[in-house]
Amino acid sequence: MTIDPRSHTPVYVQLADLLRQRIKSGDFPPGSALPSEARLTQEYGIGREAVRMSISLLRTEGLVNTVRGHGSHVRDAPERRQIELLAGGSVIARMPTSAERRTMQLNEGVPVIEVHDAHGAVEVFPGDEVELTRPEQD
């Protein structure tokens, strides 16, 4: 599968689809580096902006991380610690505020989980590190 500049779907979406597939197929396993922007630009005969937009898309999907001067790497499947949702509690998912992003050191494309307990207290957790559970009755 290649990229068709005359297609109705944008070039950067086509490239993102292509890279996403190569990640899923194991062509780019977790931890591995994606080709550099310059490499992808040449490889597919497209502009750098299209390349950057496609990688940005993958970042916001939580699939890759990018480090300036280093490159983009496929994220590892996160380990999640289990947290019990107590009786009378509730939980919502949302994107972090910019302040939360900084203080919790969250990557792009990582939501937060907001837990409200029975007394109105609120706690916020990184969405890629926790799994909320409700135990079986016993």
Which residues contribute to the site for a copy of itself (CB under 8 A)?
A: 16-17, 20, 60-62, 80, 82, 85-98, 108-113, 118, 127-128, 130-137
Residue 9 CB, nearest approach to DNA (Å): 8
Angle at 38 between CA 73 and CA 40, to 5 degrees: 65
Residue with Cβ nearer a copy of itself (33 or 91): 91
Site string for DNA, 68-87 (x = CB under 7 A): xxxxx---------------
CA distance 21 to 1: 11
Residue 11 CB, nearest approach to a copy of itself (Å): 16
Contacts of 111 (CB under 8 A, 6+ apart): 93, 94, 95, 96, 127
Angle at 30 between CA 80 and CA 67, to 5 degrees: 95
Residue 107 CB, nearest approach to a copy of itself (Å): 11
Structure-token pair, residue 6:
């005359």
CA distance 16 to 6: 17
Q: How many angstroms separate the most distant Cα atoms in the chain?
A: 61
Verify binding: residue 29, DNA, rule CB under 7 A: no
Verify binding: residue 16, DNA, rule CB under 7 A: no
Residue 23 CB, nearest approach to DNA (Å): 15
Residue with Cβ nearer DNA (15 or 113): 15
